[in-house]
């Protein structure tokens, strides 16, 4: 599925303004995919890149809460939506910014497809170095609509936890990415371990991400540790990279951002 500018002039305009498109996907829920998306976005923006974060988890949008929930989108003179300015170098957009808090989104596939097209084509994202997509878990409507509307992305980051029981779901996600003619940029092992004083414990086992990295010949982009304080901060709308500087988990997200940039630039060359 190659992008054809003549078939979609609005998507062509988006590509003229955005250098790189990276999606974040998981095979199953509860692995911390949005946590990775939010902290990757803030880490990239703190590194000087202009970043956009589009929350495409229509039924479970958590990006706004993790970013603090204060900024709101607006409408420009051309009646196009303008994403919320979260940080000087970071814009974000989520369906939760547009509906009443706590109200469920009860939509079938066609409505979700229309919303995603509007988020991409009828939204003024401005000039960006990276536009990140936080997708819901699995291989459903949202991921299909994204790739059908956007065309080829620079890559897809697969988020998993270490336990081997999660591998089958991740394999399905990787197979889906290949079927959609997309590239797996790499794997992130979230909740990889927990440091307890001088000991390291592995609450969810170990080795799962290494198996996937070897099996599919894709890089392991980062191992993200568990940290109770980080979880508390995210619940308060305070990303780790902004409010927990120099911690082990902060450094792991910054390493993730560096590795993502390297992989994207490697593909360009």
Sorted by where each begins, the domain ranges of the chain are: 29-268
What are 194-200's contacts with CB under 8 Å, separation 24+? 194/225, 194/226, 194/227, 195/225, 195/227, 195/248
pLDDT average, residue stretch 184-210: 91
To the question of domain 29-268 being in CATH 3.40.50.300, the answer is yes
Instruction: Kindly tell me if the per-residue pLDDT of 2 is higher than 80.
Output: no
Q: How confident is the model at residue 1 (pLDDT cuts 50, 70, 90)?
A: very low
pLDDT score for 6: 39
pLDDT tens-place string over residues 216-234 = 999 999 999 999 999 999 9
Q: How much of the chain, in percent, has pLDDT values that exceed 70?
A: 96
Residue 170 neighbours by CB under 8 Å, 6+ apart: 26, 27, 28, 158, 160, 187, 212
Distance CA 1, CA 238 (A): 38
pLDDT average, residue stretch 251-267: 96
pLDDT tens-place string over residues 110-126 = 999 999 999 999 999 99
Between residues 107 and 10, the one the model is more confident about: 107
pLDDT score for 11: 67
pLDDT tens-place string over residues 238-256 = 999 999 999 999 999 999 9
């Amino acid at each position: 599925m190659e992008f054809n500018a003549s078939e979609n002039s609005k998507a062509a305009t988006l590509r003229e303004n955005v250098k790189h498109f990276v999606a974040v996907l998981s095979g199953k829920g509860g692995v911390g995919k949005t946590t990775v998306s939010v902290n990757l976005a803030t880490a990239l923006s703190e590194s000087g890149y202009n970043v956009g974060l589009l929350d495409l988890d229509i039924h479970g949008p958590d990006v706004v809460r993790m970013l603090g929930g204060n900024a709101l989108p607006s409408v420009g003179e051309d009646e196009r939506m303008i994403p919320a300015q979260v940080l000087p170098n970071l814009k974000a957009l989520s369906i939760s910014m547009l509906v009443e808090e706590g109200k469920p989104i009860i939509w079938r596939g066609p409505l979700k497809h229309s919303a995603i097209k509007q988020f991409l084509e009828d939204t003024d994202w401005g000039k960006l170095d990276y536009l990140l997509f936080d997708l819901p878990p699995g291989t459903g409507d949202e991921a299909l609509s994204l790739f059908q509307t956007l065309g080829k992305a620079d890559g897809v980051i697969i988020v998993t936890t270490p336990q081997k029981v999660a591998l089958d779901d991740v394999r399905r996600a990787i197979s889906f990415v290949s079927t959609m003619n997309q590239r797996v940029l790499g794997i992130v092992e979230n909740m990889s371990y927990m440091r307890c004083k001088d000991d390291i414990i592995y609450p969810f086992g170990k080795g799962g991400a290494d198996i996937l990295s070897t099996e599919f010949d894709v890089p392991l982009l980062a191992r993200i540790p568990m940290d109770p304080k980080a979880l508390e901060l995210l619940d308060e709308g305070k990303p780790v990279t902004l409010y927990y500087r120099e911690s082990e988990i902060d450094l792991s997200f910054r390493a993730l951002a560096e590795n993502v940039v390297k992989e994207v630039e490697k593909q360009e060359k």
